[in-house]
């Protein structure tokens, strides 16, 4: 029986969100930093699922612990789905910040007809020591707006507007974002499996 789960990410914003989404489970959720693991995984896959599996299996191999990994991205219709799986590497600036990536996105959208329909995609993977690898997908629809709003979240959140909430992802209270976001939807679909495999097994 495993009651410890490792998150395959070093992104502080993502770690905070995942821990909040999994808070209902009676398990210990750890980050790599919690166990002094310094592991850089090259995301060489061509899909979200491939990248998430690469990370999950690398962390599992290094620790023997059950692992959750996710790969997420923003897909903008008028950019034909870009930045997609390259969302974190979209800016041409080396070691770009989130603000750099948002500025580059707006530069790419300049002059294109609005509204800029978009969605966030997340593929989450649970890798277990048994060799089992379980994948779930989440999606959140919205519109890219031309100016940043809100101070919460991370990544492209200040530009991603959700009409049903009249707010950007960065303006939503954390408890709302952690219910409606692409990551929340993918991880929520894994909750019953986590309950079954890690807690009740």
pLDDT tens, residue by residue, 87-114: 999 999 999 999 999 999 999 999 999 9
* Model pLDDT, residue 106: 98
Pairing state between β 4-7 and 67-76: parallel
Q: Residue 143: is its pLDDT beyond 50?
A: yes
Q: What is the mean pLDDT of residues 125-152?
A: 96
Give the pLDDT score at 153. Answer: 86
pLDDT of 1 strictly over 50: no
The average pLDDT across 65-87 equals 96
Please write the tens of the pLDDT for every residue from 18-59: 999 898 888 899 999 999 998 989 889 999 999 999 999 999
Task: Check residue 196 and give its pLDDT.
Answer: 87
Question: What is the dotted CATH code of the domain comprising 4-199?
Answer: 3.90.950.10
Q: How confident is the model at residue 156 (pLDDT cuts 50, 70, 90)?
A: very high
Burial track 106-129 (b if 16+ CB lie within 10 A, e otherwise): beebeeeeeebebbbbbbbbbbbe
**What pLDDT, on a 0 to 100 scale, did the predictor assign at position 201?**
61
Q: Given a cut of 90, is residue 10 above it in pLDDT?
A: no
Backbone region of residue 95 per phi and psi (left: phi > 0; alpha: psi in -120 to 50; beta: other values): left
CA 183 to CA 177: how far, in whole Å? 9
Whether 69 shows a pLDDT value over 60: the answer reads: yes
Give the relative orientation of helices 12-21 and 182-194 as an angle to the nearest 10 degrees: 50
What is the pTM assigned to this prediction? 0.92
Neighbours of 172 (CB within 10 A): 21
Q: What is the predicted pLDDT for the residue at 2?
A: 58
The answer to whether residue 77 is catalytic is no
Res 152 pLDDT > 70 = yes
pLDDT value, residue 31? 92
> Among residues 34, 70, 71, 98, which one is catalytic?
71
Q: Please write the tens of the pLDDT for every residue from 160-196.
A: 999 999 999 999 999 999 999 999 999 999 999 998 8
| Domain extents in the chain | 4-199
pLDDT score, position 189: 95
């Amino acid at each position: 029986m495993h009651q410890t789960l490792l998150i395959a990410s070093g992104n502080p914003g993502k770690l905070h969100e995942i821990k909040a989404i999994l808070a209902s489970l009676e398990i210990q959720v750890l980050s790599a930093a919690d166990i002094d693991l310094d592991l850089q995984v090259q995301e060489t896959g061509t899909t979200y699922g491939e990248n998430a599996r690469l990370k999950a299996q690398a962390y599992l191999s290094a620790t023997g612990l059950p692992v959750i990994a996710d790969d997420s991205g923003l897909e903008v219709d008028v950019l034909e789905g870009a930045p997609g799986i390259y969302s974190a590497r979209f800016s041409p600036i080396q070691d770009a910040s989130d603000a750099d990536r948002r500025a580059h996105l707006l530069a790419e959208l300049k002059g294109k007809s609005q509204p800029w329909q978009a969605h966030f995609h997340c593929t989450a993977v649970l890798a277990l020591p048994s060799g089992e690898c379980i994948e779930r997908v989440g999606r959140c629809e919205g519109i890219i707006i031309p100016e940043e709003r809100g101070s919460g979240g991370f990544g492209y959140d200040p530009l991603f507007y959700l009409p049903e909430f009249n707010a950007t992802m960065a303006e939503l209270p954390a408890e709302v974002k952690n219910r409606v976001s692409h990551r929340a939807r993918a991880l929520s679909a894994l909750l019953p499996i986590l309950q079954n495999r890690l807690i009740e097994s």
